[in-house]
Structure 1
Amino acid sequence: MGMNQVVGAPTDVRQEPSLFLGDGTVRALMREHDWTTSPLGHPRDWPQALCTTVALMLDSKFPMFVAWGDELGFLYNDAYSVILGAKHPASLGLRFCDVWPDIWDEIAPMVARTMGGESIYLERFPLTMRRHGYDEETWFRFSYSPVRGDDGIVVGMFCACVEITNEVLAQRYREEENTRLVNLFEEAPGIIAVLRGPDHVFELTNRSYLALVGHRDLIGKPVREALPEVQGQGYFELLDQVYASGQPFVGHAVPLRVQREPGGPLEECFLDFVYQPIRDQFGKVTGIFLEGSDVTARKRIEDELREANRQKDDFLAMLAHELRNPLAPITTAAQLLQRGQMDAPGIARASAIIARQAEHMTALVNDLLDVSRVTRGQVTMAQETVAVEPLVQEAVEQVRPMLDSCHHELLLDIEPGLYVLGDRTRLIQVLSNILNNAAKYTPARGRIVLSVRTDGGDVRLAVRDNGQGIDLPVLPYIFDLFTQAERTPDRSQGGLGLGLALVKSLVLLHGGRVDALSDGLGEGSEFVVYLPLLEPVVEVPAPAPAASVPDASGLRVLVVDDNVDAAEMLATLLGMNGYEVRVEFDGASALTTALREPPAVALLDIGLPDMDGHELARRLRAQPATAGAVLVALTGYGQAEDQQRAHDAGFDHHMVKPADLDRLLTLLASIER
């Protein structure tokens, strides 16, 4: 390269190379650069190969640099100056190793290979660079090419590169996001799967899906191959339909039967799910996204609630029927008595009917209350040694009227000398309920066998009949509340389906168990109670029966009840037994009467219209004239908490309506004595 002579210029000023002519920041820097300290020397002395390479580089918009000579003098273009960062423009003309000392160890081997004549291309090369005063992770796509002189010997290297740091970081973010989504996908509580293609090949599944169908190898398999037992259940056809139509499908509580274990049985579950078509950029369906949840537990609860509601409705219907049954003869008998046209035997029959049917209604209500108390854990069991044989005899005596009316044959087979620990009254109730059930569901002139035997550490009490038996689908639920075998429309057997539920609860409270056995309808049934056996003890004689209640006379009794009929009938009964009775129908009137004519005994209803019975009792206790009266709560509320409230209010006794007349007369007689 020559040098233009300028008048008045120093004699060492050299001609500017033509490759420096033109636009560009780096070209301008090259024109002004002091090349005396550069290993490249002055551009006038550069070889043609270098000039050609630099010219190509400077005219390119692509980031490029050239390293030339033994010391690899460094030249670059405008686009590469961005990569240099703060190293620009000081890097112009320096040695390559001085430009990039922070990455020289990583690139020096590749530079050596290139200077040895090898071309190198790297797609995604990481470098930790210091170009802005701090270390930063970077990635580059670049090629190193050897540059040869006229003699073919490599005299330098040429690099074309592009920084892809942002691209890599964006991809890394996407991968991390995908990983996070995959983890969420994997841990999602709902079932998730991705199926591809018309054959619905599994591409992805999560843990919940595998838990649903059993842990098996699904990925890469068509759904019909992966889940062969689902064939014929409609799921595959739905997948085909969604794939062909592009319309999603939503299912609610759809049954699915799967084989979770190899060779295992089909297990039924219920699913809420959606089949959502997956489309490509052209709108074509390429797969199906499945999302849903196993709602088996919810479905079973809903079914149980529906069944419970059905049983409740059935029970209410039974209750209405069973209460109407005794009400009908009571009403008829009462209407006949009201007319006053009956003779003495007729009056006696009507009275007996009313008493008998009222007793039946009382038994129904007591059953309801018993079940309520037992199921709420409000029954306290007495713990006493109970001889089994007398217990059985007493239970039989309670059921004897029904046995005789149905002309049943009862056979007893009792092992003597057996004892259990428990509540004698409740155990009699258990056995009488079972005997009553056998008598009720055995046609007339049937045969019932009651056997008592030791069985290991238990006493086994079994009642077997040759009656109508139990339908096998009903058998597992026979001890459930309100469960009854199917009956004829006349419902002639009666009952509320409470007896066996009460039996089971009471037996469990005694630490025992109860089973029901039957071969089906028409095959009879057997109920077996197991109770823990006690060691033999000396039998305690039964207490002597109570003496008959003597008639009373002159004792003043105050009856207070807002039910006029109930109050007057009770007053009539007490008057017939010699008591002097006053009747009031509200609390205020009762208080006035009691202060004017202090009673020895006051029978107080609790639900009075003005002040309740508790308040009336407190006021009577507060007055000197009535403080010593015996107060008896006569109420329809008989729970333990009701008795406690009555006691707290000052009552001496608590009786549940309808009052047991014998018990009431005994109480009054004891007060009189």
Structure 2
Amino acid sequence: MMHPMTQPGLAAAPDSEKTSRASLMDWLSGGGVMGELIRSMDWSATPLGPVESWPQSLRTTVSLCLSSTFPILIAWGPERVQIYNDAYRPICGAKHPQSMGQRFNECWASALPAVGGVVDRAQAGTGSYLENLPMILDRHGYLEEAFMTFSFSPIRDESGNVGGLFHPITETTDKMLSARRTQALQHLAARLGDVKSLAEVGERLSQAAGESVLDLPFLLYYQFDETGRHARLLGGTGLAQDSVARPAELDLGGPDEPCWPLARVLESRRMEPVDLRGRFGAWSCEPYEEPPHQALLIPLQPVGAASPTGCLVAGVSVRRALDESYRAFYELLGSTVTTALTNVRAYEEEQKRAAALAEIDRAKTAFFSNVSHEFRTPLTLMLGPLEDSLADLTEPLSAGQRQRQQLIHRNGLRLLKLVNSLLDFSRIEAGRVQASYRPTDLSQLTVDLASAFESAMAQAGLTYLVTAPALPEPVYVDTDFWEKIVLNLISNAFKFTLKGSVEVWLTPLEGRVRLTVRDTGTGIPEAEMPRLFERFHRVETTRGRTYEGTGIGLALVQELVRLQGGSLRAESVEGLGSAFHVELPFGHAHLDPARIDSREKPLGSQSLSSAFAEEALRWLPDAVESPAAPAPVTTAEPAAPPSRDEGFQFPSRPRILIADDNADMRGYIKSLLQRSSEVRTVEDGEAAYALMPQWMPDLVLSDVMMPRLDGFGLLRKLREDARTRSVPLILLSARAGTEARIEGLQAGADDYLVKPFNAPELLARVESAVRLARERTERERAAGDRVKLEQQLIGIVSHDLRSPISAILMSTQLMLRRMDLDEKTAKMAARIQTSAERANRMIRDLLDFTQARLGGGLRIERAPAALHDIVWHAVEEVKLAHSGREFLLDMDDMPTGEWDADRLSQVIINLVSNAVKYSPAPSPVHIQVRKRPHQALVEVHNGGEPISPALLPLLFEPLQRGGQGVDKAGRSIGLGLYIVDQIVRAHGGSVSVQSTVQSGTTFSVHLPLQV
């Protein structure tokens, strides 16, 4: 850029002319840099002529323009010579200063297609105002996209004609580009929001053609293979399919660099520029005639990926500079596509997990189907001979054998019921269910099924109401399905209703019939309702009569209802009860015609009803427990002692408490143990714990899974209660494996027995637990006796020692009071007194030690006392014994608290005496008492030699002695600091020590303030 004074058309004038000219140009004063430039130019070389000849209208307009802070340009005369102010200068870009005085049409030729018509209208006398008008400007050496908000207004000269144009303007390029790019990114994000695959990402990017071509001339999406050596084009926009700049695949590992050097982003993992000039020869790209000169490689690295998995090749507009805001647009573009790739990655992983779960589910269903089917054969072969044996009148069973076989038969039927439920469910899921829908008297069938529970309901103390009026027409159902629906729902109601009532209603409605089973049971938590009919899901927090169950009953009911074209819903309020509603349509139009049998089916046998009812009876607390003891068990392992088959014998009959919610299991275990033990049984942990204050057992056998309070809950309560903490407990569980056993033992169980177990194993575990418990009790009793004996012995010895020592002290005190003692005798008496006092302290420490170690800690007697008084008196007592030492006492005011004054005085005397003992005579002993939040701090400091670091951790242990520079005569038995620690602990405080060569030794006592 040339200085204004060197521009063509500018010339220097003589001084006299300058003076006269200056007076003529007063109106042109000011105007900043542009005003100075206008004043310095030789306007005679322009169509406007010399400034002195300018008409008043032009002068006034120019003066107004220069004084304004808003960008303004004036185009004057037919040639539209332009004059502008400082604010307009940035719009000119690199055209300034040549643009000053230049013809408007010549300076802004590139913009005339957009603004030419507006300028011509203004020249004709009609003004115009336009907002955010796009145009192409050539002001920085290239054609540039820009946006302007401006007006053109005519300026009348002295003749009344249009002398020029008034052109205020403001540039809105940044605002418009930002809005346009933001909108483009929003549209792209919405377009990619639901993509499910990489191919779909490529398709969506290809569909975005033309949406943002001004900012994004072209866009290519390449996906790397797993090796990172090849890239495949998945989509793109802005380039023709056969364009040389759009290769379908790229070899990134070859010796020659491909047309798009994508390997750069794999190394740098950041955006990389590519110069396109000369890279592709002659090629074209929208939206302008000239192709882009630059592109950006944008890496795509989804969350969870170790390196970029793809790359965007984004063209840069040839008519915009790649400034900071433009680069930010590309970064956001990359982030938008990366987010889509992350979502695709998450979706694909979720699909893989879902497919794996579905495969597991199919395998599980097939397994249940196969296993259930295979179970039925051995069960049939077990139950058939059992039933024959029980019904045999020619060779009747003995009473004991009959009870054993009834136990086996009862539990075999229960196992068959569970197997049938699994088989039914697996058939339904596999679509192999064989249904047969027949017209049925649903009222009579429902009444017959519900009547099976009358005995169980009565024994449980529940009100049982069954209401099933005659229906207007038969209902097409599969009677086996309906039987399982009714029995499962009533059984479920009985299981979770501990008091109140159970009601069964069969109600005809318009076009359908409704079965309702309502109870006043424990109810279902609201959070569990959405999962109520999920298979294998159990409501763990709901209290019932038993913990037993597979979690498929309600799921099976739902499927059986669905197969018959009906609906099932539940409503429940926790603590108040539940209601289950089954609705089936009348007629058979909703059923598979191939499955309809119009013949009425007679009501079937009651075997399934009996199985449900029998199981319900076994849930009652007072259910008859089987007393049958097993026959000897034969195994491949070494046999147990023969005596166990005849009855296990303890030295004395122990009390054994059995907690299990299964009545048969309670009866079986009781029959094994009652020959040699006193046995009681309860149905859950809550009942077991409630029994113990009246009947304390020697051993508890507890099932892990029980209602109300399970085995682990019972174990926790026993261990938390001081009365039952030592009672041994053996857990019984169906959970096998090392982890289950470790879990039980870590919880505090004495043993863990896995079902099924045999009689010898159970008896051996019980014998071992009882014997160990008794041995432990005996050891604890013996240890207690020893403690009492030691306490008594030390007390007697200490008392006997104190008597002669007291006599010695009294005698020496009398001797020292005599005035006629010679010096030698007086010294001997004083030495005797000192030794006796030391022996007395040792005896006191020995008694305290005994109480602390054997009596569970020192006992203190609290009373209101002022801590600073306790400390002051204790220090004064030490002063009397060490009159030659200096003591510095610094105490805060302290509120009266609940302390044992004698014991705390003992602490202070001990610490201060130690400080005197282990520090040189010239150095003072410092005692500080400070009030801290919720506690008092007492510090005793001496400047003597430090305590050995090896001794510090052991300093408060009994029988520890230390301290350099102290002769043997001055050493104690090593109980002083131990007693100090015990006294402070008894007050709920703590004591610590710090000792260094530089600062000496400080003992700190922290005591809680109890005001």
Give the TM-score range, shorter chain. 0.3 to 0.5
Greater relative contact order, per chain length (Cα 8 Å cut-off, separation 6+): 1
Normalising to structure 2: TM-score of the pair?
A: 0.24
Higher strand share: 1
Normalising to structure 1: TM-score of the pair?
A: 0.35
